[in-house]
Structure 1
Amino acid sequence: MTEPGLVALGGPAIDDEEYAVLAALIAQDSELAVLHTDSEVLTALVVPTVWPAVWWAGLVTQAIKVAGATLKRLRSGRGHGLHATLVEEALRVFGVGDLCAATWTIMKNEAADAAQEEGPYGQLLTRLNDGAARPLLVGHSAGSEHVIELIELAARMELNITFDVALIAPASTHDRVARMLNRHAERLGEVRLLGLDDALEQRDTLLHAPDVPEPIRAALGWLYPHSVLYFVSGVCEAEADTPLVGLRRHHLPHPASHPLVQGYFAQSTGRTVWHNGGDWTHGSLDSDHNWLIAQVQVPNPAVLPTNGEQMDLAQVQVQNPAVLTPDGEQMDRAQLDDGMVAAKKRYVAVNRDFALMGGLPGPGFTDLVAQTSRENRLMHVGQQAALLSLTEAEASELRTQFSSVDLEEDIPHFLSRSPLVPKFKVQNVPYGQALNAVMLTVTDNQSIAIAGVKVVAFTPGGTAFTSLTDAQGVATFNVPVGTTLGPVYILPRSGFYAQKLPALPVAVQLQPLNLPGGSGRDWSTDWIRSGVNLCDGSGVKVAVVDTGVSHNALNVTQARWFLNGKSDSESSALDVDGHGTHVAGVIAAMNQVLGHAPQAELYAARVFDALPGGQAGGASSYDIARAIRWAVSQGCDVINLSLGSSQSSNVIQEACVEAAAMGTLVVAASGNDGLPVVNYPAKLPETVAVGALGVRGTYPASSLHAGAEPPVVQAHGVYRASFSNYGPEVRYLAPGVAVLSCMAAPLGTNPPLGQGVAAMDGTSMAAPQISGLAAALICQGNQPRSAARLRALLVQLDQIMSAVLKPYPGVTGPALPVPVPAANVVKAHSTRPMKANPPRKDGKS
């Protein structure tokens, strides 16, 4: 894209000299796999003939693999037609797919490398942060990766920018775009998706530019019959038929498509434009600039032209771009309703007969899985549960048809890093409004500037502005003239206590953390252990089901992520937020601030894409249950769940029942709403619910943490935190205010492991106090995992926690944990009725 006024993103195209080389290779009868589009998707990749060197026996074996994989894909609805699927699987089996995937990965990495604060994209965003412009990002094919990286960079830089976005045949995957929507949907203004209808996509070829020599086009058309997006989906991604946002087939019912992406692009009339006629190709979608501008323009854009001046394109705006018919006329939207995904939700089918059938799927569950697989509604299946993409009507029909299977909505679970900071959405200044730059300087108590501090400033009406301090410690807010800012929250990532101020000052000094002395432990772990000398956790396995774990003071034995029904043990299990690392540090940090059991083996199960904002995102109940079962299968003695929802989940309860039966302690946070209602899964009888307490004097009185204090605090200074959910299900209160522990490095930094220490608040910080203490007790007892050991462990915890609170009278009321007979915690699977889901309400922990 080079049209003035649009931010064009993409890589290099093939030039005439490269075409000549390809033509010469054709003449020499080389076998080719060429990846290229006229719109800068991929550079040429020439693969010389290597197959004759393979032994015939090996060829037969590989051919069988190709045939089997092709048949499997076609049967499962993941095929691209017989011809294309055979070619894709052959390329994968014979190693050519690895070369293609490597090239595609390099292109993605180039987009990530460009999106650095000190790089060109960072400079561009800094220019756009004056609030006068609302940029329009246009990404064609691989350019969609650059668009996503720009949006994520703006979030990391804490800039007040809303983007209008036009994605033209984007090559980004559903999972990639879903992560962006989960994290940054509030940064998106108007969004357009432009692409080809599936019939055109299948007729398109890998090379389609008019100046490509005919022999090359003919050869590639014979080798591979579909478009470059089909090729990327079938060959270049890790999984064959990976859903791409630019492929229409992946916006129709499909077993692997992400419901969030499908729903997002289907929910707004005109958000999606599919060409369904004419000679359009993948590369030509951005060649007709007059048509393109007419489609992508949105109400009140303020775009950045090449000369850096503001440009008004109101004259070419269209409110509702429509799908075009072959003759170029507008098609009635009603004609498109058939086949469009408009109301899909994720549902979980729970295999209720799993235990009764001796660990085998029940017949009703098996039949449901088979039927939904044939209908392309099955997203993932395990022995105990399956993840489905259904409309409400389809779910109702399946409930009637398979009454022996529990079918529930996939319930999102949430966490909150600081319950003492109000929820907010970044404020976008209306175009043309006069602005005033307001600055705040943040230093330490030695007047040394602190960079990277997040500052959130509210107006009296509740509007929020955010900024990040620069190298000089200065946070700048561009706000409308006459705006009053206050209260103001100053949130250092690590090293200092956070503060809340009634108004925005000119400068502020932060107090450094009160790091531990002799014992090496934080006040919270020392306080809860009451000087008792316990084991260091050697040989004990503790799972942290959270946002990931990444810090050089933490010894992670295994890490795995569970997202959208998929799982892997790649480095993507690193912490995407900081929450999981802090939780893990309370349990098992080995230095800086010692955890309860520093020699325990950590198992990190990441179930969050990122800290959700608003109603977007959350950890899936299906994925949480899979993570719990994985932890149990790895022999984990303790599982920590610092997450929650106000809605119960049958699939999570089933997993917790199985964990308890094996002798695994499941600890969960009660929630951070300050309400007399305990969140799930903490409310389940199979888990141990933990609320948060605080102790005056363990944080500066002027710090944000003082906001956790109730109106009346007893003379001894111990109190239930004002944000802590309470109720009869809460078994223990543990320190959860100004808890010092490890802080992960910001996502995307190098090296990826954090080194700092942060003070955080929440029942999320209280739960790992119990998990860590339990690990130390298990180590001390040195008994094998069993239901009997679990009952004995709960008796020990009851005794210790009762003794901890006994010297502090007045910490009573409905929040005081009343010890429950340990025998009541583990219940028989066959006698426990499944719980009906109460009315849904988002919960936090």
Structure 2
Amino acid sequence: MRKKKRGMTMVASSVLAMSLLSFSTSTHTSAKTQTVSKNYLIAYNQSLPKDYQTEVKNAGGVVVRAIPELGALEVKSSNPNFLDKLNSTSVVAANVEKSFKLENGNPEGADGQPVALTPDPDGTYWSSQWDIQHLTNGGKSYAIESGGTKTTTGVKHKAVVGIIDSGIDAGHPDLKANFMGGENFVPAGGYYGDVPEEKGNTSNVTDTNGHGTHVAGSIAGNGKVKGVGPDLGIRAYRIFDASGSAPTGPIVDAIVQAANDGVDVINMSIGGFDSLKYYYEGTRYSDVADVLLWKRAVQYAVKKNVTVVASAGNDSLNYADKKALTDYMNESYGYLGIKYSGVTIEVPGSTPGVINVSSSNEWSTNKLAFYSNYGNGFIDVAAPGGDNGPVYDATLDLNQRNFTYRALSTWPRYLDAYFTMQKNDGYAYLHGTSMAAPKVAGIAGVIKAAHPDYTPSQVEALIEKSALDYGKKGHDELYGSGEANAYTALTSK
């Protein structure tokens, strides 16, 4: 959907957890009329009023989702004047709901050669996991803290990571010992009623995309591949439907649910942009309610003693350059008839209380992966998300892409092989800040396992204090406090 060549190159070479702006609408056509329904996010002052159902109905809307912990509603309405007619003195902000979109890499075109994995003598792929080897000092951190302890009946998890994503292949041999259930937030028919394979089963967290399973392996894989904490518990909160879409409402709802379930860490390998002022078909809009509800959701989790981690995004943008962000939005989405003129805010990475992660690579301590967003005051730490290797970085020649510089992790066994692989045996090479964030979530998990009394601020402080000081000395725009590392965090004094 992007027009920029840089963006299209990225889409063709990776799985991206990036938000494409789209209004959450559905169109119903009859012989006489055409009705367009829009989804709205509504943030109330403190809590939901007792008569919110009546207020919404009188304005011509239907409540899709209520999140009382956040004083929030997700509403669908075909009334173009819905927001004007919503008669409530306690509404703080309301806006047309944004939609996030997972973009899958396109296997067509000039690509590097797909990888055929060769097992090590012990039957694992440990020698292919440059990123996890680096993070754990060759596996030495496991002897200090793996996230749990073995018992006669399985694993006793000392900390749990909630993965808000596309679901998990719960039966994957590298994940099943650590899988602890979860919840599906996708309604029957998907979010816009056009995904028939979605049945609305709240307990079905089966990954239809692959993204969430890959993230899970980086956190708690324990088989042919290892995660940062191979004995950490993992819970799946499925928010992307089979088409790869997810509005903001179910995402912030999942944050609340994960916090209520008592997870220790939340990983969100998702990200996108909100704008405080933009125009669509001559009408002014603002994403104030969206930004506010992200803040409330993260604050709710932090108050429940949950450390929240997110990916910084894959647009090669300097977040500190506000004009460049607005220009990027106009270049990317202007063809949809949208004009941006206000401040652009990245969510959830820049939301207060979130550890925001950029993507480092295997071959450089001075350059981030080519796609990673960056910026002073924006990046907290970096982590290995992989790229296409130094030759591609120097030439940008797609034929020179070496997929082994990406991150190897678990892949759903029932999906087609990802295009980096010759066949699907349950593993795939992916890259992106989506692959960097779960490394930090895994580090946060083993820190909590080792120090169960630590608060989210203490967990973040230890991650930053023990990070490897790559790039410019001290805090910088690329790596933040440095590249996070599990071994140095667990041995830090």
For Structure 1 versus Structure 2, the TM-score category normalised by the shorter chain is 0.5 to 0.7
Find the counterpart in structure 2 of residue 814 from structure 1: 477
Q: Which amino acid aligns with 2:166?
A: T
- Give distance in 2, aligned partners of 1:387 and 1:516: 50
- Give distance in 1, aligned partners of 2:475 and 2:260: 39
Find the counterpart in structure 1 of residue 135 from structure 2: 528
Find the counterpart in structure 2 of residue 771 from structure 1: 441
Of residues 453, 458, 464, the one that matches 1:798 is: 464
- Give distance in 2, aligned partners of 1:392 and 1:681: 30
Find the counterpart in structure 1 of residue 173 from structure 2: 552
Find the counterpart in structure 2 of residue 683 from structure 1: 350
- Give distance in 2, aligned partners of 1:561 and 1:589: 22
Whether the aligned pair in 2 keeps the contact of 1:416 and 1:762 (CA below 8 Å) is no
Question: Helix, strand or coil for the counterpart of 2:185?
Answer: strand
Find the counterpart in structure 1 of residue 45 from structure 2: 352
Q: Would you say 1:341 and 2:35 are equivalent positions?
A: yes
Of residues 356, 361, 372, the one that matches 1:694 is: 361
Whether the aligned pair in 2 keeps the contact of 1:695 and 1:719 (CA below 8 Å) is no
Question: Helix, strand or coil for the counterpart of 1:815?
Answer: coil
Q: Which amino acid aligns with 2:258?
A: A
Whether the aligned pair in 2 keeps the contact of 1:513 and 1:759 (CA below 8 Å) is no
Find the counterpart in structure 1 of residue 279 from structure 2: none
Q: Report how far residue 563 of structure 1 moved.
A: 1.9
Residues 762, 811 of structure 1: alpha-carbon distance in 2 compared, 3 angstrom cutoff: farther
Find the counterpart in structure 2 of residue 597 from structure 1: 229
- Give distance in 2, aligned partners of 1:392 and 1:731: 42
Q: Which amino acid aligns with 2:45?
A: R
Question: Helix, strand or coil for the counterpart of 2:81?
Answer: helix
Whether the aligned pair in 1 keeps the contact of 2:267 and 2:437 (CA below 8 Å) is yes
> What are the equivalent positions in structure 2 for 1:66-81 lying under 5 Å apart?
none
Find the counterpart in structure 2 of residue 722 from structure 1: 370
Q: Which amino acid aligns with 2:463?
A: L
Q: Would you say 1:562 and 2:228 are equivalent positions?
A: no
> What are the equivalent positions in structure 2 for 1:135-214 lying under 5 Å apart?
none
- Give distance in 1, aligned partners of 2:120 and 2:474: 26
Question: Helix, strand or coil for the counterpart of 2:222?
Answer: coil
Deviations 1:246-281 (A, max 9, x none): xxxxxxxxxxxxx75x41x43xxxxx4xxxxxxxxx
Of residues 411, 418, 424, the one that matches 2:98 is: 411
Find the counterpart in structure 2 of residue 740 from structure 1: 408
Question: Helix, strand or coil for the counterpart of 2:40?
Answer: strand
Whether the aligned pair in 1 keeps the contact of 2:469 and 2:481 (CA below 8 Å) is no
Deviations 1:624-675 (A, max 9, x none): 0111111001100000000111115322321111001111011000001111
Find the counterpart in structure 2 of residue 830 from structure 1: none
Instruction: Name the TM-score, length of structure 2 as normaliser.
Output: 0.66
Q: Which amino acid aligns with 2:186?
A: L
Residues 401, 570 of structure 1: alpha-carbon distance in 2 compared, 3 angstrom cutoff: closer
Find the counterpart in structure 1 of residue 19 from structure 2: none
Q: Report how far residue 417 of structure 1 moved.
A: 4.6
Deviations 1:667-710 (A, max 9, x none): 000001111127310011121100101113xxxxxxxxxxxxxx
> What are the equivalent positions in structure 2 for 1:548-627 lying under 5 Å apart?
548-550=167-169, 551-554=172-175, 555-564=178-187, 568-571=201-204, 573-610=205-242, 612=244, 618-627=245-254
- Give distance in 2, aligned partners of 1:381 and 1:511: 46
Q: Report how far residue 556 of structure 1 moved.
A: 1.6
Question: Helix, strand or coil for the counterpart of 2:108?
Answer: strand
Deviations 1:146-171 (A, max 9, x none): xxxxxxxxxxxxxxxxxxxxxxxxxx
Question: Helix, strand or coil for the counterpart of 1:346?
Answer: strand
Deviations 1:576-631 (A, max 9, x none): 1000000010000111111011111111011011354xxxxx21100001111110
Whether the aligned pair in 2 keeps the contact of 1:543 and 1:636 (CA below 8 Å) is yes
Whether the aligned pair in 2 keeps the contact of 1:535 and 1:776 (CA below 8 Å) is yes
Q: Which stretches in structure 1 are left out of the alignment for 5+ residues? A: 1-258, 267-271, 273-322, 324-335, 355-360, 422-454, 458-487, 490-498, 500-508, 613-617, 697-715, 820-845
Q: Which amino acid aligns with 1:512?
A: A
- Give distance in 2, aligned partners of 1:732 and 1:598: 22
- Give distance in 1, aligned partners of 2:132 and 2:416: 31
Find the counterpart in structure 2 of residue 636 from structure 1: 263
Q: Report how far residue 776 of structure 1 moved.
A: 0.8
Q: Would you say 1:537 and 2:144 are equivalent positions?
A: no
Question: Helix, strand or coil for the counterpart of 2:477?
Answer: helix
Find the counterpart in structure 1 of residue 51 from structure 2: 367
- Give distance in 2, aligned partners of 1:561 and 1:743: 19
Residues 694, 607 of structure 1: alpha-carbon distance in 2 compared, 3 angstrom cutoff: same
Residues 351, 537 of structure 1: alpha-carbon distance in 2 compared, 3 angstrom cutoff: farther
Residues 812, 625 of structure 1: alpha-carbon distance in 2 compared, 3 angstrom cutoff: closer
- Give distance in 2, aligned partners of 1:717 and 1:774: 22
- Give distance in 1, aligned partners of 2:293 and 2:120: 41
Deviations 1:507-549 (A, max 9, x none): xx64434767889472112212345523111221110000000
Q: Which amino acid aligns with 1:570?
A: S
| More relative contact order, 1 or 2 (CA 8 Å, 6+ apart) | 2
Q: Which amino acid aligns with 1:667?
A: V
Deviations 1:437-473 (A, max 9, x none): xxxxxxxxxxxxxxxxxx413xxxxxxxxxxxxxxxx
Whether the aligned pair in 2 keeps the contact of 1:369 and 1:386 (CA below 8 Å) is no
Q: Report how far residue 412 of structure 1 moved.
A: 1.1
- Give distance in 1, aligned partners of 2:75 and 2:81: 10
Q: Report how far residue 797 of structure 1 moved.
A: 0.5
Q: Percent same amino acid at aligned positions?
A: 24
Whether the aligned pair in 1 keeps the contact of 2:309 and 2:440 (CA below 8 Å) is yes
- Give distance in 1, aligned partners of 2:119 and 2:373: 28
Q: Report how far residue 370 of structure 1 moved.
A: 2.2
Residues 735, 599 of structure 1: alpha-carbon distance in 2 compared, 3 angstrom cutoff: same
Q: Which amino acid aligns with 1:410?
A: E
Q: Report how far residue 717 of structure 1 moved.
A: 6.0
Whether the aligned pair in 2 keeps the contact of 1:413 and 1:621 (CA below 8 Å) is yes
- Give distance in 2, aligned partners of 1:517 and 1:629: 44
Q: Report how far residue 815 of structure 1 moved.
A: 1.6
Q: Would you say 1:377 and 2:62 are equivalent positions?
A: yes
- Give distance in 1, aligned partners of 2:246 and 2:74: 14
Question: Helix, strand or coil for the counterpart of 2:459?
Answer: helix
Q: Report how far residue 775 of structure 1 moved.
A: 0.6
Q: Would you say 1:670 and 2:312 are equivalent positions?
A: yes
Whether the aligned pair in 2 keeps the contact of 1:667 and 1:689 (CA below 8 Å) is yes
Whether the aligned pair in 2 keeps the contact of 1:719 and 1:811 (CA below 8 Å) is no
Question: Helix, strand or coil for the counterpart of 1:388?
Answer: strand
- Give distance in 2, aligned partners of 1:655 and 1:567: 23
- Give distance in 1, aligned partners of 2:252 and 2:370: 30
Residues 517, 456 of structure 1: alpha-carbon distance in 2 compared, 3 angstrom cutoff: same
Question: Higher helix share goes to which structure?
Answer: 1
Question: Helix, strand or coil for the counterpart of 1:668?
Answer: strand
Residues 685, 747 of structure 1: alpha-carbon distance in 2 compared, 3 angstrom cutoff: same
Instruction: Name the TM-score, length of structure 1 as normaliser.
Output: 0.40
Question: Helix, strand or coil for the counterpart of 1:805?
Answer: coil
Residues 515, 407 of structure 1: alpha-carbon distance in 2 compared, 3 angstrom cutoff: farther
Question: Number of matched residues?
Answer: 362
Find the counterpart in structure 2 of residue 781 from structure 1: 451
* Aligned-pair Cα RMSD in Å: 3.0
- Give distance in 1, aligned partners of 2:358 and 2:243: 21
Residues 815, 748 of structure 1: alpha-carbon distance in 2 compared, 3 angstrom cutoff: closer
- Give distance in 2, aligned partners of 1:602 and 1:745: 18
Q: Which stretches in structure 2 are left out of the alignment for 5+ residues? A: 1-23, 149-157, 192-198, 275-289, 320-344, 387-405, 418-423, 483-493
Which one has the largest radius of gyration?
Answer: 1
Find the counterpart in structure 2 of residue 512 from structure 1: 116
Whether the aligned pair in 1 keeps the contact of 2:312 and 2:379 (CA below 8 Å) is yes
Deviations 1:100-142 (A, max 9, x none): xxxxxxxxxxxxxxxxxxxxxxxxxxxxxxxxxxxxxxxxxxx
Residues 622, 780 of structure 1: alpha-carbon distance in 2 compared, 3 angstrom cutoff: same
- Give distance in 2, aligned partners of 1:535 and 1:693: 24
